[in-house]
Amino acid sequence: MEALKQKILQEGSIRLPDVIKVDSFLNHQIDTAFLDEIGREFYVLFGGENITKIVTIEASGIAIGCAAARHFGVPVVFAKKHENKNMDEDVYQVTIHSFTKNTDYVAKIARRFLDPSDRVLIIDDFLANGEAASGLVRMVRSSGAEVAGVGIVIEKSFQNGGQKLRDQGIRVESLAVIEKIKEDEVIFKD
């Protein structure tokens, strides 16, 4: 997605060794008009997949999942990562490792919101080691629903998350794929 690459080049800031911050439009401050374009792009890619539900994970996935869900005309469910005493007790849950924080956390979705008849598109902001996306895949499958694909805004192809998912036969589409982050340059995989 050319407009996304341009936005990353214009507004992203590099933190070596491997971080590109896009908090001016994607995951802290949000440019909703641009997110709408992102949502449309996911629909262009997965619109033929008979998606019945979008699944994402808090917090950064929520805005993107919503932007996509509007184009698909389906509900979005976000997995919860933090304790919440008002959460259903009857949940699907999965343990996910965070390399960023070097810790494990448990992500949960209330069972009511996933059905074996669902065809799910998993959406997230970044794909690096793939722990979150793989966790969501396991959680969705544990409900009996089908994972129709994974849609990612920014994939870092120098980490192996995308490879791991594709090796499982999962369709992964990333709107921008970063091959390398250098001191003052982001290099995209064309």
Per-residue contact string for residues 18-37; x = within reach of a second copy by CB under 8 A: -x-x-xx---xxxxxx-xx-
Q: How far apart are CA 137 and CA 122, in angstroms?
A: 8
Phi first, then psi, for residue 123 (nearest 5°) are -125, 140
**Angle at CA of residue 161, ends 159 and 167, nearest 5°:** 120
Nearest distance, CB of residue 58 and a second copy, angstroms: 4
Whether the Cβ atoms of residue 79 and residue 107 lie closer than 8 Å to each other: yes
Nearest distance, CB of residue 126 and a second copy, angstroms: 10
Return the residue of 6, 9, 50, 88 that touches a second copy, per CB under 8 A: 88
33 vs 184 by CB, closer to a second copy: 33
DSSP bridge partners of 121:
54, 149
112 vs 182 by CB, closer to a second copy: 112
Of 6, 42, 43, the closest CA to residue 25 belongs to 6
Whether the Cβ atoms of residue 132 and residue 55 lie closer than 8 Å to each other: no
Half-sphere exposure of 113 (CA within 13 A, CB side): 21
Return the residue of 78, 120, 153, 176 that touches a second copy, per CB under 8 A: 78
Nearest distance, CB of residue 190 and a second copy, angstroms: 26
Return the residue of 66, 106, 138, 143 that touches a second copy, per CB under 8 A: 66
Nearest distance, CB of residue 79 and a second copy, angstroms: 9
Nearest distance, CB of residue 117 and a second copy, angstroms: 16
What 3-state class would DSSP assign to 56? strand
Q: How far apart are CA 149 and CA 93, in angstroms?
A: 20
The size of the interface with a second copy (CB under 8 A), counted in residues, is 41
The two structure tokens encoding residue 7: 């936005």
Sites for a second copy among residues 110-169 (CB under 8 A): 110, 112-113
Interface residues toward a second copy, by CB under 8 A:
15, 19, 21, 23-24, 28-33, 35-36, 58-59, 62-63, 65-67, 69-70, 73, 75-78, 80, 82-88, 100-101, 109-110, 112-113
